[in-house]
Amino acid sequence: MFRIIAATLAVSLLSGCATGYHSAGNPLLGWTGGFWDSKGPGELTLVGFGGNGYITQDKVAVYLLYRCAELAQAQGKPHFRIYDSLLSAVIDRPLDRAFVSPVTGKPLGQVYMLYEDQPSSVTFDAAKVLAQYENEVKGPKTQ
């Protein structure tokens, strides 16, 4: 009986759902994609979000920006800036939105991120990003 329940659960999980907001290393759901990050070079952090064929590029861009804000808050940094490539970081040409493009027909977004203590015209406010997209990323809060 347990095997039937497990198999049913596995089939329902495998049945074409769009990538949700979770780590790409999630043992249950990571096969659909998810977020990841890696440190360096310098103070930069490379943050990525890979989606499957059922999620839109716009949604991946929201998830990616939200993950950046989460990381900034976890580091105790209120602001951050993002770059679409290492070259853009070197010449300091930040983005005003997360960059997502298709790879093998699936949306892949990745940005280099730099934490900031002070706001500027090119930084994102981590708290504002989290508040703005919380419902879209985590779903509406139930009372």
Tell which positions 54-93 bind other proteins, by CB under 8 A.
Answer: 84-87, 89-91
The nearer residue to other proteins, 72 or 137, going by C-beta atoms, is: 72
Site string for other proteins, 9-38 (x = CB under 8 A): -----------------------------x
**Smallest distance from other proteins to CB 88, Å:** 10
- Identify the residue among 30, 37, 53, 73 touching other proteins (CB under 8 A): 53
Tell me whether residue 51 is exposed, middle or buried, using C-beta atoms within 10 angstroms of its C-beta: 0 to 12, 13 to 18, 19 or more.
buried
In one letter, which amino acid is 68? C
- Three-state secondary structure readout of the chain: CHHHHHHHHHHHHHCCCCCCCCECCCCCCHHHCEEEEEECCCCCEEEEEECCCCCCHHHHHHHHHHHHHHHHHHCCCCEEEEECCHHHHHCCCCCCCCCEEEECCEEEEEEEEEEECCCCCCCEEHHHHHHHHHHHHHCCCCC
Q: How far is the CB of 106 from other proteins (least distance, A)?
A: 6
Q: Which is nearer to other proteins, 64 or 137 (CB)?
A: 64
Cβ of residue 138: shortest distance to other proteins, in angstroms? Answer: 27
Minimum separation from the CB atom of position 13 to other proteins (A): 18
Lookup result for tokens 């759901």: 29
Single residue of 40, 74, 96, 140 touching other proteins by CB under 8 A: 40
- Interface positions with other proteins (CB under 8 A): 38, 40-44, 46, 53, 84-87, 89-91, 99, 101-106, 108, 112, 114
